[in-house]
Structure 1
Amino acid sequence: MSVPGPGVNQPLNRCSLTAAVVQVQGLRYTPAGIPVINLVLEHESVITELDTPRTVKLQIKAVAFGALAEVLARQGLETVCEFHGFLANARNGKGTAFHIQDFSKT
């Protein structure tokens, strides 16, 4: 797949998710000294699909860098927030990770 040039619609990879923090690994640092935190987020909602209510439950691996990682390291478990970011392959190549770029408590 090629990426369109300037002035052409760019591929879109933006995600928003209301979720609870259910797992937090300890804050660590990259070799360059950038703070990193890995989390697991849990979401539950009812979505209408084909005129039928569907209960959606999911857990997703998430990661945050920099000052945002430091703030998230201080959040308690089960804290429900609205997270914004993008999806990418997980660091180990297994599955998908939600890269958090911003969040706010709900």
Structure 2
Amino acid sequence: MLNRLQLTATVEREAELRYTPAGLPVLEMWLKHQSRQREANLERDVACEIQAVLIGKQAPQWGGKLAGQQVAVSGFLAQRSLRNPRLVLHIEHVEFVKG
């Protein structure tokens, strides 16, 4: 069983909406996260950039609206493809973070 990942991040950029050969809409984006976390009873700064993808009926509704925005996303991690082991966050839920 895969655990769901939750992340608050800024959408650094998003690619143009595209479609798979099966006709599924796909929206790829790159997220930048920065926060302060507690580890071993010590505070530490955490920063990362991660590639993410939104596939399915949500992709067209979010396309062109996310770049530069701070969002809260949840989903799961999976390798990019059978031949590419790089991890990609597969977003299942996205919402804007009110700042």
Query: Paired residues, what number?
Result: 96
Instruction: Give, in whole Å, the separation in 1 of the partners of 2:50 and 2:33.
Output: 8
Instruction: Give, in whole Å, the separation in 1 of the partners of 2:76 and 2:53.
Output: 10
Higher relative contact order (CA 8 A, sep 6+): 2
Give, in angstroms, the shift of residue 76 of structure 1.
3.8
The corresponding residue for 1:101 is 92
Matches within 5 A, 1:56-95: 56-91=46-81, 93-95=84-86
Note if contact 2:78-2:90 (Cα within 8 Å) is conserved in structure 1: yes
Q: Which runs of 5+ in 1 are unaligned?
A: 1-10
Taking every aligned residue pair, what percent have the same amino acid on both sides? 34
Q: Which amino acid aligns with 1:64?
A: L
Which structure has the larger Rg?
Answer: 1
TM-score norm. by structure 2 comes to: 0.88
Instruction: Give, in whole Å, the separation in 2 of the partners of 1:36 and 1:77.
Output: 15
Matched position secondary structure for 2:9:
strand
TM-score norm. by structure 1 comes to: 0.83
Give, in angstroms, the shift of residue 12 of structure 1.
3.1
Note if contact 2:8-2:72 (Cα within 8 Å) is conserved in structure 1: yes
Give, in angstroms, the shift of residue 90 of structure 1.
1.2
The corresponding residue for 1:32 is 22
Q: Which runs of 4+ in 1 moved over 3 A?
A: none
